[in-house]
Amino acid sequence: MSRYTEKPAPHAAVRAVRDGLLIGSLAICLLYFGAGFLIPLVLAFLLYVLIIAVTNRVAALPVVGPRLPDWLTLTLGVVLVMSGVFTVMYVLADQATRFLVTLPSYEDRLDDVSARVANLIGSEFADVIRKQVVGLDLSFIAYSAFGGARSFLSTFLLISLYVAFMIAERGAIARKIELATTDPDLGRELRRIMSDISVSVQRYVGVKTFISLLTSGFCYIVYRALNLEFAETWAVLTFALNFIPSIGSIIAVLLPAIAALLQFDTIGPFLVVLLGTGIVQFTIGNFLDPALTGRSLNLSTLMVILALTFWAGVWGIIGAFLSVPLTVCLVIVLSNIRATRPIAILMSKDGTLMSRKDGASTSDRHYTRQR
C-alpha cells in the first residue's frame, strides 16, 4: 500500500535544473550584497595579474632579461604597474578640481549649444531638445562621476594590501591547494585550472592594456592638436572606457566630442573629434584588437554583451570593466568540469575551447584547441 502513496522521486534532470537555479540565485545574491568586499578583491587580483604579466615581459627582454634576478623583475613589475595606476588617479584628481571650477561656464554654454543644434535640425524638435537640456544637471553628473573616483581612491590602499599579500603568497598558494586535497590527481588538476586562468587573464589584461594605451595616445594627439580643455582627462577616460566591451569605445568618442561642442563656437572641432577619434577607435577596435585578443580569447560576441549587461547590473560601472575577465575565468572553470563543459562550449565563439596540451607543465605557455 505504501508503494502507491509514496511520491515518486523527481527525475535527475529536474533535480539538476532545480539545484542549478538554487545555486545560481544564491551566487547572484552573494555577488550583489557582497560587492563591497568582492570588488576590491577582484580589482586586486587583476592588478596582481597585470604585475605578473609585466614581470614576465621584463624577464623575457633580450640580453638583459635573463640576467636579472627574480626579485628585481618582480620589483620592476610592481613599480611600473603601481606608477601607472597612481598617474591615472593623480590626473583625474587634478583635473576634477579644475573641471568643477569651470562647471558654471559649461552650463551656460550648454544652453547656447542646445539652441543652435535645435535650430539646425528643425523647429519641431526644438522644444523637446530644450526641455531635455534644461533637465540636465551637470553638477549632479560631475559630482557623481568624481565621487566614484574619490571612492576608488579611498579603497586603493586596501587593494594595494591585497596585492601585496597575493604577491607574498604567489608560490605557496598552488602548493597548499595541492597538499590540501586528499587526491593527488585532483590537486594537480586544480593547480592546472588555476594556471590556465592566470595565463588567460594575463594575456587579456596585458593585451587590452596595450591596446587601450595605444588608443588613448592617438586620441590625446587629436585633443591636444585642437587645444581641447581637459585633454588629459579625456585621454585617461578613453583608456579606461576601452576596457568596457562594445559600448565603451562609443562613449569614449561621444564625451570629448560633446566637450568640444561646448568649448568652441563652431562645429568644426566637434566634427574633428568625432571623426578623428572615431576612426582611431574603429581601426584599432576592428583590426588590431581582434587580432591580438583572439589568440587567447574565444568568447561569443553575444556572450560578451550578455556578460556586460549582467555584471553592470550586479556591480555597476566596475562590473562593466570586469565583465570580460570574469567571464574568461568562468569559461575556463566550466570547461574543466565534465558536467559543465557543454555550457563552456555554448559560451565560446566557435565551439572550441582553449586547453593545455596533455602532460604539459604549468610553465608551458603553448595551447591547443580541443573539441
Chain mean pLDDT for the chain: 75
Report the distance separating Cα 132 and Cα 228, nearest Å: 25
The reported pLDDT for the residue numbered 370 is 41
The reported pLDDT for the residue numbered 357 is 41
Q: How confident is the model at residue 356 (pLDDT cuts 50, 70, 90)?
A: very low
Phi (first) and psi of residue 354, to 5 degrees: -90, 125
Cell of 111: 544652453
pLDDT (tens digit per residue) in 317-350: 888 888 888 887 788 778 777 777 888 888 877 7
Cα torsion through 343, 344, 348, 350, rounded to 10: -80
Phi (first) and psi of residue 21, to 5 degrees: -65, -40
pLDDT (tens digit per residue) in 229-284: 888 888 888 888 888 877 888 888 988 888 888 788 788 888 899 999 999 988 88
* Residue 316 φ/ψ region, left for φ over 0, alpha for ψ in the -120 to 50 degree band, beta for the rest: left
Cα torsion through 285, 288, 289, 294, rounded to 10: 140
What's the average model confidence in pLDDT over 182-204?
76
Q: Where are the domains of the chain?
A: 35-168, 188-371
Residue the block writes with cell 578583491 = 41
Of 205, 231, 201, the closest CA to residue 219 belongs to 231
pLDDT (tens digit per residue) in 139-159: 544 555 555 555 556 677 888
pLDDT (tens digit per residue) in 175-191: 777 677 777 777 777 77
Residues near 224 by beta carbon (within 8 Å), at least 6 away in sequence: 231
Q: Is residue 365 scored above 50 in pLDDT?
A: no
* Selection from 67-71, 98-102, 105-109, 201-205 with the highest mean pLDDT: 67-71
The reported pLDDT for the residue numbered 368 is 38
The reported pLDDT for the residue numbered 61 is 82
pLDDT (tens digit per residue) in 312-323: 888 888 888 888
The percentage of the chain sitting over the pLDDT mark of 70, rounded to a whole number, equals: 71
The reported pLDDT for the residue numbered 15 is 75
Cell of 281: 577607435
Cell of 116: 543652435
Q: Buried (b) or exposed (e) across 214-250, using 16+ Cβ within 10 A? A: bbbebbbebbeebebbbbbbbbbbbbbbbbbbeebbe
Report the distance separating Cα 205 and Cα 167, nearest Å: 17
HSE-CB for 248 with a 13 A CA cutoff: 28
What does pTM read for this prediction? 0.70
Higher pLDDT, 282 or 91: 282
Higher pLDDT, 272 or 19: 272
Q: How confident is the model at residue 371 (pLDDT cuts 50, 70, 90)?
A: very low
Q: How confident is the model at residue 120 (pLDDT cuts 50, 70, 90)?
A: low
Query: Which stretches of the chain are DSSP H helices?
Result: 2-5, 12-33, 35-59, 70-101, 103-121, 126-135, 138-168, 170-180, 184-225, 231-241, 247-263, 268-283, 289-293, 301-335, 341-347
Q: Is residue 125 scored above 80 in pLDDT?
A: no
> For residue 334, how many other CB atoms are within 10 A of its CB?
18
